[in-house]
Structure 1
Amino acid sequence: MGLFNVPRQLPCAHTFCQSCLQSYITSKALEHEKKRCIECPVCRKIAGPFKENKLGSEWASLFPVDTVIQSMLPRKSKVDRVCDACTAEGSSVTATGFCAVCEEAMCDDCLKFHRKQKMTKAHSILAMEELLNNPKNVMQFAECFTCLDHKMKN
C-alpha cells in the first residue's frame, strides 16, 4: 500500500489514486468502452455514464479530487499549514496538529480546546511536523487500499 498521488472519489465515496484508477479503467477497457461507465472496484456500484466525446483514457481525471484525503497528504514543500478553525474566523494562525476525525488542521489554542471537549477529547491528533516529516504516519488515515501499483512499495 502507499499514499495517494491524486486522490479521486467515485460517486459511491470510495477513493483511489488517479493513476491506479486509470490503470483499472484501462484494464477493463473493452468492457467499459461499450457501456461508457465503470464499476467501483470495491463495492461494484456503477459510475458514469461518460460523455461520448470522452476517451476511456480520460475517465479517471473526470472524477472529483477527494479534498479531505488531499488535505491529509504530506506537502512537498515546508509551507506552513494554517489552522482551519482560525481561518474560518478570518485569522491566519500556523497549524501545529491535525485531527484525523474532524479532518482539520489546528493551532495550539484550538488543539487545547479540542482536547478538553467531551465530544472531541478522544480524537486522534497528529503533530503537523510529524505529518510533514514522516509520511508513513499519514498512511493510517490515507491509504489507497486497492492500488496494485502501491502494494509492493512498503
Structure 2
Amino acid sequence: MIALSTHIVSSCQSKEDPIGFQCPKCREFVPAPSFSLNVKNWSKHLPINKLQEDNLYKTETVTFCEACVRENEMEEADNYCLSCCEALCDICSKCHRKNLMSRDHKIRRLNELSKISTETPCTKHKDQPIQMFCNDYEELCCAMCCKNIHRICESVEPIEQKAEKIKSSASVGMLLHGIKEFDRKLYEAKQNQEKTITKLEDDTDALTGEVQSLKEKLIQNLEKLEKEYIDQIFRQRETCKQKLTKNMLYTQLMTEFF
C-alpha cells in the first residue's frame, strides 16, 4: 500500500488538480476515489480485491482469523465456521458460539476440514446435504425434506438434473446473451469514459501550459515597458539639466557683461 501511495503521489505531482492516475501494473487509468481527499490518501480509499487480500494472510502454513483481520489484528486461526465460511481463532470461535445469531453454526478445527463434505447443508435440516429440487414449491431440499415436507409433491428431482435443464433452457441462453451484451456495452462505456478523462487531463495540462506561457510573456512585456519608461524619464532629465545649465551660463555671462 505504501508503494502504491508513492506511485500515485509521484504520478500526480506535476498536475495542479489531478483526477486520477495510471495503474503501475496494467497501465489502465484509475479515477480518483474522491476529489475531496488529498492525493496521499487515495490508496487508502481504493476498492480492495478480496481474493488477493485473502492471499496476503492465507497461506499453506498460516491462516489468520478473518474476524480479527477486519479489526486490523493478526491472530492465527484454529477453527473454521462452515456457515459463515470464515476462519476463526479460538477466542472468536467462543464468541461465535455464544452469539444468539450464530450459536447453531457448525465450527470445525482447520485440520479437520479435509474430512468434511463440501456439500451445501439444508436450511431446515442442517445435518443433511441438499440433494433435490421441488418444482412445486421451487425450493432446494434434502432427503429428510422429501420424506416429510415434499412427500406429496408431484415434481421433485435431483439438483443435478434440474441444473442441466436450467442450463439448456432458452431463458438462460437469452439471459447469458443479455449479460454478454451488457458487458460489452459496459466495457465500451468504460473505454469512452477513460478516453474522456485522458483528454480532460491532456486539455488541462495544455491550458495550464498556455496560461503559464502567457503569464511569462506578460511579465516580459511589463518589464520591457518599465525599462523603456525609466530610460525615457532619465533621458528627459538629462535634457532638462543640459538646458538649465546653458541658461545658467547665459545668465552669468549677461551679468558679468553688464
TM range (shorter): 0.3 to 0.5
The structure whose Rg is larger is 2
TM-score when scaled to structure 2? 0.24
Higher helix proportion (structure 1 or 2): 2
TM-score when scaled to structure 1? 0.38
